[in-house]
């Protein structure tokens, strides 16, 4: 699942993994989890993430390769937030080709103004991780999680300066990945994801994935 921060990758990846019964592999979640749980990552990684910069390629590549080796990924998986740099894309393509695994890259296309509005309105439940958006997906009760009633918070990396840095990192390091994948003849499908509700976007994605299975 490919797209800028705020394009809805996480939401769509979750819907798709539920539909297909395959794992959702989000490098952002994995990195946050590692930092929170065991502090096993060098402090610089947390600092970089909090300021909107990327974690080092070598670390992320190793983490993903390890995860892809788990038994639950043998029948397929949805990658969310990876690959995010050319070095990561090269590594992933080698991994896929080495095993004869076919991919489909779903590029969620969203205009810049919608991205900004979405990122600024994002709130998260600190207990269960559910994401909300004050504009497009508000909670039922003001600022409280629908699932557990916890008060919603702004994720550290959703503050305004950090949002700007994340978007810059996307333009500088991640957008070139899309061009690389297209040039390399990978299957890239663009999905309009700026105006419609998540369920409509998801229908489009399901159509693409169904074709992919038949191909
Ligand atoms: P978003 O897509 O909304 O930016 P993520 O949860 O995917 O949020 O990522 C949060 C942060 O985790 C990123 O800003 C970056 O610092 C780090 N991160 C996630 N995936 C990668 C990756 N593939 N390579 C390097 N850093 C990553």
Taking the centre of ligand 1 as the mean of its atom positions, its distance from the CA of residue 214, in whole angstroms, is: 32
* Residue nearest to ligand 1 atom 3, measured at CA: 5
Burial 87-118 (b: 16+ CB within 10 A, else e): bbbbbbbeeeeeeeeebbbbbbebeeebbeeb
* Residue nearest to ligand 1 atom 4, measured at CA: 5
Does 79 sit in the ligand 1 pocket, CB within 6 Å?
A: no
For residue 159, the model assigns a pLDDT of 84
The residues that are catalytic are 9, 84, 122, 155, 166
* Residue nearest to ligand 1 atom 18, measured at CA: 28
Q: Mind listing the pLDDT tens digit for each residue in 132-172?
A: 988 878 999 999 999 999 999 998 778 888 898 999 999 99
- Per the prediction, the chain carries an average pLDDT of 93
Does the pTM of the predicted model rise above 0.75? yes
Q: Is the separation of the CB atoms in 26 and 81 below 8 Å?
A: yes
Q: Mind listing the pLDDT tens digit for each residue in 16-70?
A: 999 999 999 999 999 999 988 867 788 888 889 888 899 999 999 999 999 999 9
Q: Is the separation of the CB atoms in 25 and 17 below 8 Å?
A: no
For residue 38, the model assigns a pLDDT of 67
* Protein fold of 9-112+160-214: Rossmann fold (3.40.50)
């Amino acid at each position: 699942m490919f797209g800028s921060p705020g394009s809805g990758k996480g939401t769509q990846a979750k819907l798709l993994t539920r539909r297909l019964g395959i794992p959702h592999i989000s490098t952002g979640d994995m990195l946050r989890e590692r930092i929170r749980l065991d502090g096993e990552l060098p402090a610089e990684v947390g600092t970089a993430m909090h300021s909107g910069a990327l974690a080092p390629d070598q670390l992320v590549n190793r983490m993903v390769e390890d995860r892809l080796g788990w038994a639950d990924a043998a029948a397929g998986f949805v990658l969310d937030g990876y690959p995010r740099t050319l070095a990561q894309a090269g590594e992933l393509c080698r991994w896929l080709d080495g095993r004869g695994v076919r991919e489909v890259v779903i590029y969620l296309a969203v205009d810049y103004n919608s991205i900004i509005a979405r990122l600024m309105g994002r709130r998260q439940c600190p207990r269960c991780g559910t994401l909300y958006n004050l504009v497009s997906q508000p909670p039922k009760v003001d600022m409280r999680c629908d699932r557990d009633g916890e008060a919603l918070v702004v994720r550290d990396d959703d503050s305004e300066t950090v949002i700007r840095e994340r978007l810059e990192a996307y333009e500088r390091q991640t957008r070139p990945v899309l061009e690389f994948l297209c040039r390399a003849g990978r299957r890239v499908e663009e999905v309009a994801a700026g105006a419609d509700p998540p369920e409509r976007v998801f229908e489009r994605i399901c159509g693409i994935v169904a074709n992919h299975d038949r191909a």
